[in-house]
Structures are given as structure tokens and as C-alpha cells.
Chain A
Amino acid sequence: MTRPLARLVAVIATVTLAITAAGCSSGTSGDSATGSSLSVGFVAEPANLDFTSTDGAAIPQALLVNVYEGLVKLDQDGKIVPLLAESWEVSPDRKTYTFHLRDNVTFTNGKTFTADDVVFSINRVKTDWKVSLKSAMDVVANVEKKDDTTAVVTLTKPSNSWLYRMTTRIGAMFSRDGVADLANTPVGTGPYKLESWRRGDAITFSANDSYWGTKPKLQKVVLKYFKDATALNNALLTGGIDVISAVQAPESIQQFSDTSKYEVIEGTTTGEVVLSFNNSKAPLNDPRVRRAIRHAIDHKALLDTAWAGRGQLIGTMVPPTDPWYEDLTGLYPYDPAKARDLLAQAGQTRLNLKLRIPNLPYAVASAQVVKSQLDAVGITVDIEPLEFPARWLDVVFKQADYDMSIINHVEPRDVTAVFGNPDYYLRYDSPRVQELFAKADAGTEEEQVTAMKEAARIISEDAAGDFLFLFPNLIVAKKGIAGLPKNLVSESFDLSVLSPSEA
């Protein structure tokens, strides 16, 4: 019996390992909050530091606002506020923007920031950038220097979204002498400069002593990168980091329930988790079927089970931090009887739908709830998890070979891209909505808000998709760290406003 016994031990050891493996990979220690330094944990490490040639959210998350600055930025409420431009004027035809620049700004390579750099940076987007986002600059007809601190940008047509995009990576200001090695040596005007980058582990920023604005409270910030959610959690538990920038497994937050040690910050992001419908393909080209599905889903129950109740129910494609947000959860209350009625009217009492989802945690969890709830009104759902990103992008996003999918649309202000373009994978074609989007882009601020609100409402009433929930911004930090953002409104993680705990 010695061999079977040895095998018994081996099997139990294997399974125990499998259970606890996720719990064992804690982070390295050190770099904890000591007066002037702080370390923040992230899950996705940048491939390099050049967002002009490389896609991916991790690069602007680390560099934008911290190392690079634009003429304008977004504040916590989603409003466009001055940054390197002290102020700006818009011409009556809304096509010419005159930016008045700060005169005390220098790059970390010692050069002074002038209107020449603005001309250089904006033109460089059109000539040298390689990422698809650069198309946001296509609307610019001309940019010129009036004097050292005044730059004038002329657009081909009025566009509110252009100024908004200037708050993103597209609007980052580069030094004419600082773009030789963007992948490794970023040169910006921001409150921090790159000190070191240990690939696969951490990026260290140190305070920029010649910064023009309010000096950051921290001398040093370490951005530590982890492979998975559990490792990230463990790093905070063991003191390896001070902040978890985004909790990836909401149920695990209970580990940080000790309020004398930890602080949990919960707010909004710009990520709408959408149950997307293929609006051009039967049976979901019938609005009655789409409406039935929206009525059949108990969104509160879905959020509670799939994402531990973290997040917000919005019923629309617009997050609460956009000026045209409107709570539309009341449009489609949970009503299985009505769902059955609508399905009967549509003549679809025995529906069978393919739910092709990316194999990401929130999608896999939400899909199971959707299936169970649609089952109750007589719709059979087959869940097919596809490898993300490659397979999902190919099958669902490119070929639109699906009935329903679930994805977190993370890009800020993406309602126009998702529902304004009939070729987008949801294949939603509403001339009225497209007209409203065009009007919003060209109009004044008020006209923009009114038109956007109306468009968002039509999209939700049309049941072009079901808006499951707004993805939460979940941050866990050691107690006493100030300045952490409650709501994520932009693509950067602003480190300049953080201040250390007293401990």
C-alpha cells in the first residue's frame, strides 16, 4: 500500500496547490508609504512608454497628466479645464480655437514650452503617430503660432469632440527635441519624470523639481505591475504596495473590510457593461424582441450576483460623469410578464440565441445570470466564451457573427462611436440618432447637451442594447492616503494629487 498512499498524498497536494496557488504569489516587500514615497499596484504593464506608436490603456494611464500634459484636461466632474493653456477662445463659427499658453513651463529636458511645441505636437499626430486614435486629429485643418504664448487651431468643421479628445493622449504636448526615444525616455512638462523602469516589475517616477504648477506632495511614486488580481490583493495585504489602482475581483474586497487599516474607494468609470444585440439580424432586428429581453433582465440581481453589487445601474450608454447623463433605469423595469407578452406579439415564443462573450471575468459571470433570467421567459441562450481579444474581436467585433454579446465599453464618450456608426458591430442604424450626434458635435455647449441627451434616450428606448451596469472604479488603499480619484473620467491615473498617510 505504500505506492497508493504516496499517490494519495500526491493527489491531495496537487489539489491543495491548485486551490491555494492563486493565494501564494504575494508581491515583493519594500517601497511602502514613508512620508514622501508611495507605491501603487496595477495589473497591466505597458509594452513600452510610447503611446504615439503603441495601443493599450496602460501607457497613458501611467504617463498622461503625470509626465505628459495637454493644453486642457478633464476634472473630476468630467469638465474640460485649463492645463498648459491658461485660457482659450472659440470663434463665433466654432471653427477657430485660440489658446493662450502659460509662459513659465519647461520640459524635463530643460527647454521652454512655447507655441512652436503646440504646432509641432499637433502636426506630429497627423504625420508620425501610428495608433488608430490619431484620426481624432483629422478634423484639424491648420495650426499656427501667433506668438510664443499663443497658438491658433483651425478646424475643417465645428467639433466639440475635438476639444474633448485634446484631453486624451492625442493632446499630449511634446518637446521638439524630446521625441528621439519615446519608448524609453519620455520628455514632458508634467509634475513627475521617469526615474527608472524595471521591466516586468515597476516604473518609478520622481518629482519634477522645475514643475510650473503646484509641486506634488510625493517625492517618489512607484507603479508596480502584477500578473493577476490575487497577486495584487496579496501585495497590499502584505505591505508590498500602498494602493490597488483597480480591484479586479470584487468579491475579494471583503479581505479589506478592516477600516482601521484600509480604505475602499468606490466610484464610477466610463465603462458601460453592455449586453449588445445584433440589431441587423433576425430575430434581434425586431425591436419587440429586444425590448422583451430588456424587461426580462433583473439588473439589480445581475449586479448583486455577477459583480458583488459593485457598480451602478444606469440604463443608458452614458456614464454619470458626462454632462448629458440621464438615469434611464426606469425605461425598462424588470417585468417578466411583459417580456412574455412582447415575445408573443413578435411571434417568438421559442427563441434560441447565441451569446458569444469574451472570456473575461465580468462577461462570464454576467452571461450566466442573463441565461438564467432569459430562461424564465422562454428564451434559450447558448453561452460561447471566446478567447479575448483575438477570437472575440474577429468573430463578434469584425464579422458580427453573433446574436448577443457582453462587453465593457471602456472608452470615454463612446456612445457616438458605438451607436452612430451602422457598421459598428452592433449594426445599429438610426438616421435620427446619427443626425443628433452630428448636431451635438457642431453646436454650442448647450445644444450639445440637449442633442446628446435626446440621442441617448432614443438608443435606450429602441433597446439597441441592454445596459447591464456601469463598471465600478474600485480602489483599495492603506488608510490615510489622500487624493485618490473617486470617479475615473479620463485615461490617466493622476498621481500628482496623492499625498501620503501620516504613518
Chain B
Amino acid sequence: MTALENTSPAARGRRRWRRLNASMLVGGALVALVVLAALVSFVWTPHDAVHVDAAHRLAPALSDGYLLGTDKFGRDVASQLLVGARTTLFVGIVAVGVAALVGTPLGVLAGMAGGWLSEIVMRANDLLFAFPALLLAIMLGAVFGASTLTAMIAIGVATIPAFARVARGQTLGVMHTEYVLAARAAGRSRLAIALRHVLPNIASILIVQASVSFAIAILAEAALSFLGFGTPPPTPSWGRMLQESQELLFSTPRLAFLPGLAIALAVLGFNLFGDGLRDWLDPKLREHR
């Protein structure tokens, strides 16, 4: 805590900038690449990503204007990867959104209230935590029909405990700080304390949690689409591209390799970014270097 107490905000900012670490840069670049691909796909793709063209099926890379070739339906792989980035980001945003918006208030509530209320919230959390996320998603998909949204809400719901636990742990710490004690002594309402003091102080750790959960959500969507419970066809999804190329693994490995690589890089990007962010935001870790 010493670092926080004896430096001015401006100096802290400058130091933070200098301390931007490698994992954050690499991770940030990978994340930016995914975002860029998704944005570009809205205005331009080399070909129509879902147009079936029997005459050009399984065209090799760099032929007929197909940069990365075509799949068994004659669809352009490069275009599919670009549009697939949209699906990837969408799933991350929905899943993390659900988890953060529900999990954080629950965690803060449990942390601030304590007692039996805290016990109830956290035990309910444990219950949810014990339920496998993919199973929940497959179940919802089977009941409500497979769609990207149902799958991701399921993943989001299953991620709620992660946010609730982190938020509660951090809230407990913040509640014992002098400024919160002072605010309570001054008679500020619980809501005001939560919004003014607790949330800003636990935000950084939640951002880290979000980036890690984002990576998990991407992997979950890919897995669900691979199993046929995620994004319905023909909307391009990296997971389904992987599944559709399964039987072509021996003859056209490129078709499995490319979406696999995209998934790996996106997940790696968000993980590295989260790691870097944590190091960057955590003053304790910084002092030990």
C-alpha cells in the first residue's frame, strides 16, 4: 500500500505507462486484430461468406482470388474467418455481460451485508458453480433451440459465480478501509457507499476477471458450435468451421488449421491481455519486480 500513499496521481500515471508489459502489448495486439477483423467484415469481405458455390469447392489457397481457399461448400475461408470474428466477439460480450452484470452486484451485496444474506447468496453461487457450463448450455440449446444467444447466456450464467466471488472478496477488503469507515460514520447510505467507494475500488480486478472470462466464453462457443449446439448454420463461426472440416482433416488440413489457429490466437490474446492488465493494475506486484 505504500506505493499508493506516497505518489501523486500524475506520477502514477506516467509510471504505469512506462511499465506497460509485454504480455499486455502482445495480448492487446491480438485482441485488436480480432476486433479489427470483426469491424472490417461489416463493410467488406473478399467474397460472400455464406454463398455456396459447387464449381469452386475446395479451391486451394491463393487461387481464383481466394486468399485462403474455399471449404467443401465452395465458401471463401478468409471471408468466413472475418465474419466469424464477429460471432466470437458477440459471444464474449454477451457471456461476460451477463456474468458481470449479475455477478458483481451479488458479490458486492454479499460482501457488504454479511451475515445470513451473504451466506445465502454465496451458497447459491456454489450451487451454480458446481454445474458444468457446457452441460447447461447444451441443455438450454436442446430446450430452446440452438442459437448463439441461448448458448452464450448459458455460459454467462455459469460464469456468474466467478464474478460474484471476486467481487465479494474484494468488497470485504474495501469495507475495512478507513475511508469506508469514515463514510459510514458520516451516515452515507449503503447504496452510496457501494457506488462511490466499493465499485471503483474493485473495478480493476473485475476488468481482469472479464478478460479471462471472455477467453473462456470464446472457447465455450467454439466447443458448442463444434458439437452442434452453438451458432446455427450458416452464420460463420470458428467452432463450426472446425467441425465441418473434421472429415477433411487428412485431405485438406488447412480447413481445420485456420479456424483452430484463429481460436487459439483469440483466446491467447484475451488471456495475455488479462494477465498484463492485472500486473499493470496491481501495485503490489509492481513493487516486487
Residues of A within 8 A of B (CB): 1, 3-4, 7-8, 11-12, 14-16, 18-20, 22-23, 229-230, 249-252, 254-255, 298, 300-302, 304-306, 308, 359, 364-365, 367-369, 371-373, 383-387, 390-391
B251–A368 touching, CB < 8 Å: no
- Smallest beta-carbon distance B257→chain A, Å: 7
Q: Which residues of A contact B226 (CB under 8 A)?
A: 18
Q: Which residues of A contact B114 (CB under 8 A)?
A: none
Interface size class of B (residues with CB under 8 A): 35 or more
Q: Which residues of A contact B271 (CB under 8 A)?
A: 4, 7, 11
Q: Which residues of A contact B264 (CB under 8 A)?
A: 11-12, 14-15
Q: CB < 8 Å: which of A250, A369, A383 contacts B232?
A: A383
Within residues 243 to 260 of chain B, which ones have a CB less than 8 A from any CB in chain A? 244, 246-251, 256-257, 260
Q: Which residues of A contact B244 (CB under 8 A)?
A: 365
Within residues 1 to 35 of chain B, which ones have a CB less than 8 A from any CB in chain A? 22-23
B257–A19 touching, CB < 8 Å: yes
Given contacts A8-B268, A251-B251, A304-B57, contact A368 B233 (CB under 8 A): yes
B267–A11 touching, CB < 8 Å: yes
A229–B142 touching, CB < 8 Å: no
A252–B54 touching, CB < 8 Å: no
Residues of B within 8 A of A (CB): 22-23, 50-52, 54-55, 57, 72-74, 141-142, 145-146, 219, 222-223, 226, 228-229, 232-234, 242, 244, 246-251, 256-257, 260-261, 263-264, 267-268, 271-272, 275-276
A4–B272 touching, CB < 8 Å: yes
Q: Taking chain B's interface residues, is the majority helix, strand, or loop, or is none over half, making it mixed?
A: helix
Sample of 15 A–B contacts (CB below 8 Å): A4-B23, A8-B272, A18-B222, A19-B256, A252-B247, A300-B54, A302-B54, A305-B72, A368-B233, A368-B234, A372-B234, A385-B146, A385-B228, A386-B145, A387-B146
A359's closest neighbor in chain B, by CB? B228
Q: Which residues of A contact B233 (CB under 8 A)?
A: 364, 367-368, 383, 385
Interface centre among A1, A302, A305, A369 (most CB of B within 10 A): A305
Q: Determine the distance from Cα of A230 to Cα of B249 in the docked complex, in whole angstroms.
A: 10
Given contacts A369-B52, A372-B50, A387-B142, contact A19 B249 (CB under 8 A): yes
Interface centre among A19, A23, A300, A383 (most CB of B within 10 A): A19
Given contacts A3-B275, A7-B271, A385-B232, contact A301 B257 (CB under 8 A): no
Per CB-CB distance, the 8 closest pairs between chain A and chain B, nearest first, are A301-B54, A249-B247, A372-B52, A15-B264, A251-B247, A252-B247, A4-B23, A254-B251
- Smallest beta-carbon distance B17→chain A, Å: 20
Q: Determine the distance from Cα of A12 to Cα of B228 in the docked complex, in whole angstroms.
A: 23
B246's closest neighbor in chain A, by CB? A22
- Smallest beta-carbon distance A159→chain B, Å: 41
Q: Which residues of A contact B146 (CB under 8 A)?
A: 359, 384-387
B26's closest neighbor in chain A, by CB? A4
- Smallest beta-carbon distance B237→chain A, Å: 12
A305–B247 touching, CB < 8 Å: no
B219–A305 touching, CB < 8 Å: no
Q: Which residues of B contact A391 (CB under 8 A)?
A: 142, 145
- Smallest beta-carbon distance B152→chain A, Å: 17
Given contacts A229-B247, A249-B246, A308-B72, contact A383 B234 (CB under 8 A): yes
Q: Determine the distance from Cα of A300 to Cα of B229 in the docked complex, in whole angstroms.
A: 29
- Smallest beta-carbon distance A358→chain B, Å: 10
Q: Determine the distance from Cα of A300 to Cα of B250 in the docked complex, in whole angstroms.
A: 25
Q: Which residues of A contact B142 (CB under 8 A)?
A: 387, 390-391
- Smallest beta-carbon distance B265→chain A, Å: 9
Q: Which residues of A contact B250 (CB under 8 A)?
A: 252, 254-255
B227's closest neighbor in chain A, by CB? A359
Q: Which residues of B contact A302 (CB under 8 A)?
A: 54
B256–A305 touching, CB < 8 Å: no
Given contacts A11-B268, A298-B54, A305-B72, contact A251 B248 (CB under 8 A): yes
Q: Which residues of B contact A390 (CB under 8 A)?
A: 142
- Smallest beta-carbon distance A434→chain B, Å: 34
